[in-house]
Amino acid sequence: MASLRDNGTQLYLWLTADSDITDLIDEIEGSPAILVSNMLHEEYQSLTLIQIYRLSTIGAQDINPVTYTVNCRSSTDLKADELAQAVYDSINRKLSDDKMAKCNVYKCIYEDDNHYNTPIDVVMYNNL
């Protein structure tokens, strides 16, 4: 069984390695603004960034997929959608040695003044 603190390391590695994505987001302390956290701190809310967190339960990972939410956040709905498209193009049906990803993109959500979020559910399957 995977750790209950499973944090989407494979997703983070895929996203940070793609310049089509990192060129669209801001930086935090010299690194691409990709946060693996279910909480978005106030000081980051004005940034264009990606937030990753595990959504699904964890069971027998040899047969159960694990679902993550990848939030594509920006100051406009157009920028949030553009970032979501880049994420989708980069990781939908992507394969690694032991994982495959499948993505579903949702409608952009207006959250607050100049804060938009286009969420993507990413289902990670184990390659058996």
Tens of pLDDT along 65-121? 889 999 999 999 999 999 999 999 999 999 887 788 999 999 999 988 779 999 999
Residue at token pair 């032991």: 98
Q: What is the pLDDT of residue 1?
A: 42
> What's the gap between Cα 111 and its chain centre?
17
Average pLDDT taken over every residue of the chain: 88
- Map out the domains of the chain with their CATH numbers: 9-126 (3.30.2000.10)
67 CB burial (10 A radius; 0-12, 13-18, 19+): middle
Residue 122 · residue 101 · CB < 8 Å: yes
Q: Residue 61: how many CA atoms within 13 Å on its side-chain side?
A: 18
Minimal CA–CA distance to 16: which of 87, 85, 81? 87
